[in-house]
Amino acid sequence: MDKFENINELIVALLFWITSHTDYKNPIKYPAIEFIEQKELSQLACKTECEILAYTPLEPKYKIFLSKKLDPLNDICHRGILMHEIIHVLQEEQGVFSDYELRTKKHMREMDALVNHNIFLSQYGKKILYSNGFAAKFKTNTKNNLYC
């Protein structure tokens, strides 16, 4: 796995991967990453307790919130989550699926991000599980090295 000095270097590398493997173009402005406590992230994204690990709001634009539990510099699964969120920033900036009704647009954006998330992880022998249009986790403590 590649080593990065800091989060900005990782963002550049992830943007390079995205623009090389998808139709997305480089953003006008790079996203800012803010690591926050899980409780705070849950309130921000779900307005209640939830298991969300990352959130990209519509406002402010170019902002990605990640749970402090994540370590994208050193963990490929966490790196995939950050890449997924960067795709959401690009989708909003580039108006992807904007011709659709809001719920459909959100669903299509999420599916697109999940597919690219899996393609990215497959290069490292990993994948994510998804269910009902969202990333899912097995309810088990056994270490399955295939799934993030």
Helix (H, G, I), strand (E, B) or coil at 141: coil
The per-residue pLDDT string of the chain (148 residues; one tens digit each, 9 = 90 and over) reads 788 999 999 999 999 999 999 999 999 999 999 999 999 999 999 999 988 999 999 999 999 999 999 999 999 999 999 999 999 999 999 999 999 999 999 999 999 999 999 999 999 999 887 766 566 555 555 566 788 8
Question: In this structure, are residues 53 and 124 in contact, taking their beta carbons and an 8 Å threshold?
Answer: no
The pTM score is: 0.91
**In order of start, what are the domains of the chain with their CATH numbers?**
7-136 (3.40.390)
Q: Say which DSSP state 6 is in.
A: S
Residue type for 119, please?
I
Torsion angle, alpha carbons of 68, 128, 133, 53, to 10? 0
